[in-house]
Amino acid sequence: MKHLFSNVRGDLFGGITAGIVALPLALAFGVSSGLGPSAGLYGAIFISFFAALFGGTSTQISGPTAPMTAVSMVVIAGIVAIHDGSIEKALPAILIIFFLAGLMQIGLGLMGIGKYIRYIPYPVVSGFMTAIGVIILVTQILPAVGYYPKEDTDYVEKFKPKAEEIILDNILKEEAGEGILVLEDFEETIKRAKNITPEETLKEARTLAKKESSGVIGTLKILPRALQNINWLELILALSTIIIIYGFKKITTVIPSTLVALIVVSGVAYGFGLDYRPIEEIPSGLPIPHLDIFTQFELSSISPYIFTALTLALLGAIDSLLTSVVADNMTKTKHKPNKELVGQGIGNSIAAIFGGIPGAGATIRTVVNINAGGKTKLSGMVAGIMLLLIMLSLAPVASQIPAAVLAGILVTVGIGVMDYKGLKAIPSLPKDVNLGPIKLSSEVIIMLVVLVLSSVWNLVYAVGIGLVFASLMFMKKMGDLTAERSNIQSLEEEKAWADEKDFPKNLREEVFIKHLKGPLFFGTTSDFQVLADQIPDTASTVIIRMDRMQYMDQSGLYALEDVLIDLRKSNINVLLVDVLPQPKYMMERVDIIPDLIPKEHIFPSFESCLDWIKTNVKDKD
């Protein structure tokens, strides 16, 4: 506690500054997610406070971030579609998934997973971050030009037949579920179908129109129509926001340019009474917990999203720990990764209960905090309290912010989040994969696969596929390298090891020596299996030197067993030299020792093996 209040003045200033920087981003991420600006604010308030209080990075400022919001958008859109386009109906299922993601983060921290996050390959992270930028940029085009598909009457009209079909289908499902879908009661079903109102059909058609035009692909499909229906006032507000954000940075970085753009453009639009579209109303008063996420909990509604919750947890962990590294470099301190994950998990869980979107450690806000004097956990807690006070006192004012201004802010976020370092490196990365006559870089392939699949298909699956690709390519490289170092050659062709110099020349045709260098695992088994083909016809004995083979997996074990069985059928004696503990243990488990290799054919050194050779192997010439 003493440490917490060791830098009160610096932490207050750092926290207040970080809170002010976080305000426009929290509102923008909330709107972008689909749950509205208040969800972004609630997320920023609770995650910032509790992640700082329980986390393992003293100067970290947490809250909604671009990657977390992009994945949240997928979850929210999917569940809202299942609940007939109603956010109210879908909210308990959405929040329980966010709550689960927080619990999973706590679990990751308690299991000590924090230190393993750094093993995620850079190309996967790079492709993902660039995809986040692309998703945010593309999906903000429609609000930036003031086009909302569900309000376009002609566009919505096309979805009315499909809407009627869905409503009828739902009636039939309800009737079947109640057990009254039989011939005599079918009149009730027909009566209900006739009572479908135009308003119901219109509502369903709007939901379908919004769903059809969502995401990157949906936006690109409807873009020509949007460009024919530009609301020029909304576009001017968005462009003005973008120009001020980039232009004001050149004047000074002391005052956050995002906040300046928000205040100036919103002030002008409101002050001159312009006919702009405001954001959704932000409720005033203290946030209320959504206890219905527990009372209305249904496993069936969230089971398809369990993997998505885990992805949110892992993504939040990566996002936060990368920011922790930045904070360490700036403050010359060392964060506690597992404690940080527990703190982030507690923050995300509590935010979900109060209706907030998930978040993570935010790099820019953390840097602002450190530069403004923040040094302890108090700074992050102050940032959360600051946002709560702004919400309580300025909610009616904030509700007048133009939606186009937040779209402009998000466009700059999308541009900033892309990994330009990774993109610039594409031409210079080594081309290590042959695709027919074309040579490509495996790292570039992984990056582009993740980038394209994340942008146009599914963020969650794209990362999974990227990790699988990266792992397979890594294993292939390791297998190739190991195979290179462990070439299968006879003694005459292979350079003899130092203790083999005095091997009797008259026995060289009778004895074949195999050097195993490096692990015998699934990547090298195919090379090892051709050992029998390499043995000269004159050889009656094979020595396998294993003193440089530290590890053998199950694939390697069975490959060795197959080779030994083949050699035994050919009446060739096999001698093992200096078998290390792990391979020996594996061979004893499946009875290679002593069934295929008797213990008297296992030697602790090449010298003792040579003595056996001199005694038991005769020169046939």
User: Strand 433-435 and strand 438-440: pairing?
Assistant: antiparallel
| pLDDT confidence band for 488 (50 / 70 / 90) | very low
DSSP H or E stretch at residue 544: strand 541-548
Section 155-162 average pLDDT = 86
User: Strand 573-577 and strand 541-548: pairing?
Assistant: parallel
Residue 16 vs residues 8, 327, 566: alpha-carbon distances, Å? 12, 18, 75
| 455-490 residues labelled b (16+ CB within 10 A) or e (exposed) | bbebbbebbbbbeebbeebeeeeebeebbeebebeb
- Give the per-residue pLDDT at 479: 66
State yes or no: pLDDT of 1 exceeds 60.
no
- Give the per-residue pLDDT at 359: 93
CB 503 within 8 A of CB 496: yes
DSSP H or E stretch at residue 512: strand 511-517
| pLDDT confidence band for 66 (50 / 70 / 90) | confident
Q: Spell out the SS3 assignment of 447-502.
A: HHHHHHHHHHCCHHHHHHHHHHHHHHHHHHHHHHHHHHHCCCCCCCCCCCCHHHCC
- Give the per-residue pLDDT at 419: 83
State yes or no: pLDDT of 494 exceeds 50.
yes
- Give the per-residue pLDDT at 491: 41
- Three-class secondary structure of residue 502 per DSSP: coil
> Which conformational region is residue 36 in: left (phi greater than 0), alpha (psi within -120 to 50 degrees), or beta?
left
End-to-end CA distance of the chain: 87
- The Cα 463–Cα 310 span in angstroms is 12
- Three-class secondary structure of residue 510 per DSSP: coil
DSSP line for 243-277: HHHHHHHHH-SSS-HHHHHHHHHHHHHHHTT----
Two tokens, residue 49: 């406070």
- The Cα 545–Cα 54 span in angstroms is 54
CA 54 to chain centroid: 23
Tens of pLDDT, residues 400-411: 889 899 889 889
Q: Phi first, then psi: give them for residue 603, nearest 5 degrees.
A: -120, 140
Peptide bond into 198 cis (omega under 30): no
DSSP H or E stretch at residue 508: none
Which residue intervals of 56-114 are DSSP H helices?
A: 66-82, 87-110
Tens of pLDDT, residues 551-574: 888 888 888 888 888 888 888 888
Tens of pLDDT, residues 270-289: 998 888 888 888 877 788 88
Alpha-carbon dihedral 214, 219, 220, 226, rounded to 10 degrees? 140
Section 589-613 average pLDDT = 88
- Give the per-residue pLDDT at 156: 86
CB 477 within 8 A of CB 432: yes
State yes or no: pLDDT of 528 exceeds 50.
yes
Q: Phi first, then psi: give them for residue 86, nearest 5 degrees.
A: -95, 115
- The Cα 60–Cα 507 span in angstroms is 70
Q: Phi first, then psi: give them for residue 429, nearest 5 degrees.
A: -70, 140
- Give the per-residue pLDDT at 481: 65
Tens of pLDDT, residues 329-356: 788 888 888 999 999 999 999 999 999 9
- The Cα 616–Cα 613 span in angstroms is 5
Radius of gyration from C-alpha coordinates of the chain:
33
Two tokens, residue 359: 């978040």
Tens of pLDDT, residues 182-200: 555 566 667 677 777 788 8
Residue with token string 């569940």: 79
Q: Phi first, then psi: give them for residue 514, nearest 5 degrees.
A: -115, 125
- The Cα 443–Cα 428 span in angstroms is 11
| pLDDT confidence band for 61 (50 / 70 / 90) | very high
Percent of the chain with pLDDT over 90: 18
Least confident among 260-274, 393-407, 460-474, 597-611: 460-474
Tens of pLDDT, residues 430-477: 777 777 778 888 888 888 888 898 888 877 778 778 888 888 877 777
CB 439 within 8 A of CB 433: yes
| pLDDT confidence band for 181 (50 / 70 / 90) | low
- The Cα 200–Cα 206 span in angstroms is 10
- Give the per-residue pLDDT at 490: 40
**Widest CA span in the chain:** 108
- The Cα 518–Cα 381 span in angstroms is 52
pLDDT averaged over the chain? 83
State yes or no: pLDDT of 71 exceeds 90.
no
- Three-class secondary structure of residue 528 per DSSP: helix
DSSP line for 22-46: HHHHHHHHHHHHTS-HHHHHHHHHH
- Three-class secondary structure of residue 361 per DSSP: strand
Residue with token string 């639009």: 269
From 449, 397, 433, select the one nearest 37 (Cα to Cα).
397
- Give the per-residue pLDDT at 487: 47
- The Cα 359–Cα 319 span in angstroms is 9
Q: Phi first, then psi: give them for residue 544, nearest 5 degrees.
A: -110, 110
Residue 574 vs residues 438, 593, 594: alpha-carbon distances, Å? 44, 12, 12
DSSP line for 158-225: TTHHHHHHHHHHHHHHHHHHHT--SGGGHHHHHHHHHT--HHHHHHHHHHHHHHHT-HHHHHHHHHHH
- Give the per-residue pLDDT at 77: 83
- Residues forming a β-bridge with 151: none
| pLDDT confidence band for 11 (50 / 70 / 90) | confident
Section 489-515 average pLDDT = 71
